[in-house]
Structure 1
Amino acid sequence: ALIDLCYSVGAEKVYVGDTPFFAFKSRHCFEVTGMKNAVLEAGGNILYFDEESYIEVDSEDAIIVQKVKLPQKLLEMDGIITVPRLKTHNQTTVSLSLKNQHGLVPSDEKKLCHKDDLHQKLIDINHILGNRLRLALIDGTFALEGQGPTLGTPLTLNLCLAGTDLVAVDSIATTLMGFSPSEITHLRLAALQGLGEIDIAKIKTVGVPLDSVSQQFLKPSNEIIGIAPNVHVYAGGACRPGCFAWARVGLDGLLKRKEIDKYGDLTFIIGRNPTVPEQLKGHVFVVGDCAEKYKDKGMFFEGCPAFDIWKLRKILKETG
């Protein structure tokens, strides 16, 4: 429908592109989801961003990520419409139009600044794209609550939100999900840095009343401490959107399938300078570079953050 609308207002060509989570390839995702056929049948063109040439772009307004690689073809377009799904995310609470631009950067750059600095990174990418971003359209036909984006619970809402101010659109979407925009770190940063309006009272809306479509979404969690009797965590200083969040994705793979007890005791050493007892139970996982000095105590997952801990269920199946 969006492709048809673009052509109806005079677009010469419409392209649809994405780069998924770095464990997957865009061509495969377009095919298995049916998106490839849908785009082609509507007369659109597909851009597999991870197969495109990238060029480096910068912005004086960016703070920590002042330069980023973006698909060259994307930068040749007259404008960009960002089309996220209405969903929760265990690193950012919500994943809406501002966060959707993270899907434009190559996989190696997705992994950079993926700790507590992720929130500012998202805003920097939006600063760099600037007025190329013409419209946000959040697809809430089917939404996701709880442990998004990987193991959340689907919801059927049959609604869409659209607007030219991405901060305002995300603030309205966040509100109808039952959260306060001010509790979303990247939304606060976006508003403070002049990207848009976060105050619901100052945002003009048309269409159905907001309270008629609002509901309380299950809030995502990146907590791993105290989630099950057999999960033992010894944590020092560790980033919540970093190693905590990725370890929770790994544990969610077990929780979702009711397999959390299947492999006995699971022990995690995570963060800088945790207090670790001499005797450790069951499978021991040392998560992230901050905990590297304990790597002789169990299976070590390197990285900052340690992305591969999300494969926990697969590792346990292989090792018993």
Structure 2
Amino acid sequence: MTDIFINYGTNLQKMTYELMEAANIAGRLNTTMKIGIKPNLVVSRPADGGATTHPEIVEGIIRYLQAYGINNITILEGSWVGDSTQLAFKNCGYTALAEKYGVKLHDTKKDKAVQVKSKGTSLNVCESALNMDYLINVPVLKGHCQTGMTCCMKNLKGCIPDSEKRRFHTMGLDKPIALLNTVLRPDLHIVDSVCGDLSFEEGGNPIVANRIMLGFDPLLLDSFGAQLMGFKPDEIEYIRIGKAYGIGKYADADTKELELGTENRPKTGVSHSNTVKKLSKFIEADSACSACYAALVYALDRAGGIRGESIKIGQGYRGKKCAGIGVGNCTKGCQTYVMGCPPKASDIVDFIKNNQNNILKD
């Protein structure tokens, strides 16, 4: 059984539809179901800044559902405290999307809160999220200034009232995030890993990876995403606590991945972020795929950069003998290289740490 379905490219609507077909999501649904789609619209900024879910992904979900006769669809979200969900719907392209396909938009800030208990702790959860027959979580894989990263598990904060969001922070954030995932269990997760921010949930430093992932285990997807960003799963506290709570399993060597569209992997995307540009000075790229390049940028950020010879990456090095260090299977002709297609950023970070004599931090 496949654990994670992955698709690459730039046609996000088509990629999403293909992922849902590959996973046979229609086989889990019927036409009478009330479907909820929960994107990440934490702020009212377009998705290319690295903070919010691309509307094209949600459009792909809607088109897939409607193709199978499912029309009772609601996009639900509650932006962070102090921001307007309605403004986010408009500025992020969801108001136009809802009008185009005749689906509903629901601001969870206006919801009745339902008190639920888990492991001795009471939590207030928005009624609309609990009342869906099938809930589809569509987070952005990106950095976060407090938790290190955010993906499936943390995205559910949009399904609690503003007062509860404030309380989560007083509780330490990580534990209540894990607790929330024991009582609110989306049926499907489709991860926007197109251009998530390097380290900040509000965006501003997007890293283009041109990747979408699908799965059913939020903890597995989050632990996999952590590795893509250069973390070990245990370094992210809410993931570690979530595993102890039995929410899911860690991604490991036995995780079964199905990759679609590998032949369509675009070359390195352009980022206008000054931070990403500074990290790119350590990279010597030649026709690098965006997912591979993104892994190296994440790794360099985690490692604090390097001093000395730049790291080679890209299809242009395939079949060539090169001095120095390479990243990805295309650079196996280098003196030494990190395996993977694409490699995980966590593997690149380990390589840098284990070769301190040859690769020195600034």
SS at match of 2:184: helix
Q: Quick one: distance in 1 between partners of 2:170 and 2:129?
A: 27
The answer to whether the 8 A contact 1:89-1:220 is kept is: no
Tell me which residue corresponds to 2:109. Answer: 50
The answer to whether the 8 A contact 2:196-2:207 is kept is: yes
Tell me which residue corresponds to 1:36. Answer: 95
Q: Quick one: distance in 1 between partners of 2:64 and 2:191?
A: 15
For residues 10 and 166 of structure 1, do their structure 2 counterparts lie closer, same or farther at Cα, with a shift above 3 Å needed?
farther
Structure 2, gaps ≥5 residues long: 1-59, 263-288, 305-362
Query: Are 2:66 and 1:14 aligned?
Result: no
Query: Are 2:150 and 1:95 aligned?
Result: yes
SS at match of 1:157: coil
State the TM-score, normalized to the length of structure 1. Answer: 0.61
Q: CA deviation at 1:128?
A: 1.2
Query: Are 2:128 and 1:69 aligned?
Result: no
Corresponding letter in the other structure for 1:8: A
Tell me which residue corresponds to 1:202. Answer: 254
User: Structure 1, residues 145-180: CA drift from partner, whole Å, max 9, x if none?
Assistant: 13x112540122211111001111111212122222
Query: Are 2:141 and 1:86 aligned?
Result: yes
For residues 13 and 220 of structure 1, do their structure 2 counterparts lie closer, same or farther at Cα, with a shift above 3 Å needed?
farther
The answer to whether the 8 A contact 1:96-1:170 is kept is: yes
The answer to whether the 8 A contact 1:7-1:13 is kept is: no
Tell me which residue corresponds to 1:135. Answer: 188
The answer to whether the 8 A contact 2:196-2:203 is kept is: no
Q: Quick one: distance in 2 between partners of 1:39 and 1:142?
A: 23
After TM superposition, list the pairs within 5 Å mapping 1:223-262 onto structure 2.
Answer: none
Q: Quick one: distance in 1 between partners of 2:122 and 2:170?
A: 18
Q: CA deviation at 1:10?
A: 4.2
The answer to whether the 8 A contact 1:145-1:219 is kept is: no
Corresponding letter in the other structure for 1:102: K
User: Structure 1, residues 88-140: CA drift from partner, whole Å, max 9, x if none?
Assistant: 0011111100000111111111011315721110011111114xx10111111
Looking at both structures, which has the greater relative contact order when contacts are Cα pairs under 8 Å and sequence separation is at least 6? Answer: 2
The answer to whether the 8 A contact 1:57-1:69 is kept is: yes
The answer to whether the 8 A contact 2:71-2:103 is kept is: no
SS at match of 1:178: coil
Q: Quick one: distance in 2 between partners of 1:52 and 1:110?
A: 14
The answer to whether the 8 A contact 2:141-2:191 is kept is: yes
Tell me which residue corresponds to 2:209. Answer: 157
Corresponding letter in the other structure for 2:223: S
**Alignment equivalent of 1:27, drawn from 86, 110, 113:** 86
CA RMSD of superposed structures (Å): 2.5
Tell me which residue corresponds to 1:172. Answer: 224
Q: Quick one: distance in 1 between partners of 2:172 and 2:139?
A: 22
Larger deviation, residues 5-14 vs 187-196: 5-14
Q: Quick one: distance in 1 between partners of 2:207 and 2:226?
A: 15
The answer to whether the 8 A contact 1:52-1:71 is kept is: yes
After TM superposition, list the pairs within 5 Å mapping 1:288-299 onto structure 2.
Answer: none
User: Structure 1, residues 242-262: CA drift from partner, whole Å, max 9, x if none?
Assistant: xxxxxxxxxxxxxxxxxxxxx
SS at match of 2:83: coil
Tell me which residue corresponds to 1:188. Answer: 240
SS at match of 2:153: helix
